[in-house]
Amino acid sequence: MTSILIKNGFLITMDAEDQRYYADLLIEGNNIKQIGKDISIRTDKVIDASGRLVLPGFVQSHIHLCQSLFRGQADDQNLLNWLVTITTLESHHTPETLYASARLGLAEMIKSGATGVIDMGTLHHQDSVFQAIEESGIRAQAGKAMMDLTENLPPALQETTETSVRESLDLLHRWHGKANGRIRYGFAPRWQLWNTEGLLKEIKQEADRQGAGVHGHAGEIYDEVPQMLQERGHRNLKYLEHIGVIGPNVQMAHCIWLDDSELRVLAETGTHVLHCPCCNLKLGSGIAQVPEMLARGINVALGSDGTPSNNNFDMFIEMRFASLIHKYRLGALAMPAASVLRMATSNGAKALDLGGSGFGSLEIGKKADLIILDDGGLHAAPLPDFERDDPVKRIVSAYQSDSVRTSIIDGQLVMENRKLLTMDEDVVFSEASKAWNAIANKIAAR
């Protein structure tokens, strides 16, 4: 069991009281063992965090690692054209290109402060994604995309209900609970209109039985609502309630076009909302009613979505957008910095932990998923007195991702002084470029 002592950091605990203070923090094995002044105990590793901020790591609550290679390939397109472009590209993945894609995304996210992710995979080769996740050291829920109602898509992205469920269960048995519980399976029905009711019901029962998640999209675009009403007789969340696919193990991305009755479903059932502000603007989808959701006690987490709809995996960018786009709607006092940081950290952890709270705050007994930030450099200067000038405001509105110095996930050092310890960044970069060129050449040759 390894032990790490972090000395003299300014702790932003994200606990229920939102406490912030100077202290030492002791990690033993996977957990936070002790927090206090002047802890002096012999440990395997001591990290000097003087003048630095220590906080729970970010959770990227809605991503598509399979799309990392396709960054910039569908810019300035509306969602339906975008979807055709990207699903076509996805259909060309081999296990090798998918592995390169996942590694690229994971490296970018860890360097930007993510310690956890909720990933929606593509149809095939999902073992490659799990392998990359396991090696990277990140905490993750992942699962292959399920789409058993997609006759218009490339043949490589079609599947029967039976195959979809069987392959998902095979993956679950191989990966769920692996790496000391750091990896969790999440069924990933892409969206209601591409999945049969039978599939949705079946996987929810499996998820309940196995302690797995259900991760989908809901209410992303305006046109979805009339189509849902026509085909399923209900708006998205009311439909999911109707068929029982709701609750603390269900995470729904976007949730822009919801009415009051659907907000009530979310609040009453503990179903998580995964808010992706950049993506929603980029694709012209709309702006989710996040402050209203938070006021109702709905758990809203933040995510970047895939790189072709963003184009970064960077929680600092997501926090800026989450903070500013709602002020436009509701005035300058809406979405204070503390709420935004909570969405990026503890709310994300709650979604990833399926409503549990085993991580996402700096508290004794919680799993040690945390990051250490430097002073923010010129972008955050002048240097604040942390006890006088609220550093949370600076993190949300001034820091950039290169301020993340060190990352610890499940008690393991994953990045130190901006050097990834689980991957060789140069290799990840060059293999991603090689993999993308392989796909681009394959398409050009057709």
Handedness of CA 366, 368, 373, 374 (dihedral sign): positive
Name the pairing type of β-strands 31-36 and 20-28: antiparallel
Site for a copy of itself in 415-444 (CB under 8 A): 425, 428-430, 432-433, 435-437, 440
User: Cβ distance 59 to 360 under 8 Å?
Assistant: yes
Kindly determine how many residues on this chain lie close enough to bind a copy of itself according to the rule CB under 8 A: 72
Residue closer to a copy of itself (CB basis): 128 or 401: 401
Minimum CB separation of residue 152 from a copy of itself in Å reads 20
Residue closer to a copy of itself (CB basis): 68 or 192: 68
Residue 369 token pair: 């998923």
Site for a copy of itself in 388-417 (CB under 8 A): 388-390, 393-394, 397-398, 400-402
Is 387 a binding residue for a copy of itself by CB under 8 A? The answer is: no
Give the count of beta carbons closer than 10 Å to the beta carbon of residue 225. Answer: 17
| 65, 129, 200, 278: which one binds a copy of itself (CB under 8 A) | 278
Minimum CB separation of residue 74 from a copy of itself in Å reads 10
User: Cβ distance 399 to 380 under 8 Å?
Assistant: yes
Is 231 a binding residue for a copy of itself by CB under 8 A? The answer is: no
Residue closer to a copy of itself (CB basis): 73 or 361: 73
| 78, 180, 227, 357: which one binds a copy of itself (CB under 8 A) | 78
Is 380 a binding residue for a copy of itself by CB under 8 A? The answer is: yes
User: Cβ distance 61 to 302 under 8 Å?
Assistant: yes
What's the Cα-to-Cα distance from 293 to each of 258, 271, 288, 296, 337, rounded to whole Å?
Answer: 11, 12, 9, 5, 16
Site for a copy of itself in 110-139 (CB under 8 A): 111
Is 75 a binding residue for a copy of itself by CB under 8 A? The answer is: yes
Is 76 a binding residue for a copy of itself by CB under 8 A? The answer is: yes
Residue closer to a copy of itself (CB basis): 166 or 434: 434
Give the count of beta carbons closer than 10 Å to the beta carbon of residue 9. Answer: 25
| 19, 337, 416, 421: which one binds a copy of itself (CB under 8 A) | 337
Contact pattern for a copy of itself over residues 303 through 322, marking x by CB under 8 A: ----x--xxxxx--x--xx-
Is 85 a binding residue for a copy of itself by CB under 8 A? The answer is: no
Distance of alpha carbon 306 from alpha carbon 120, whole angstroms: 9
Nearest to 350, CA basis, from 384, 308, 316, 302: 302
Is 276 a binding residue for a copy of itself by CB under 8 A? The answer is: no
Residue 363 token pair: 């508290």
Q: What angle do CA 2, 19, 379 make, to 5 degrees?
A: 85
Residue 98 token pair: 């998918």
Minimum CB separation of residue 257 from a copy of itself in Å reads 14
- 21, 24, 30, 33: CA torsion to nearest 10: -90
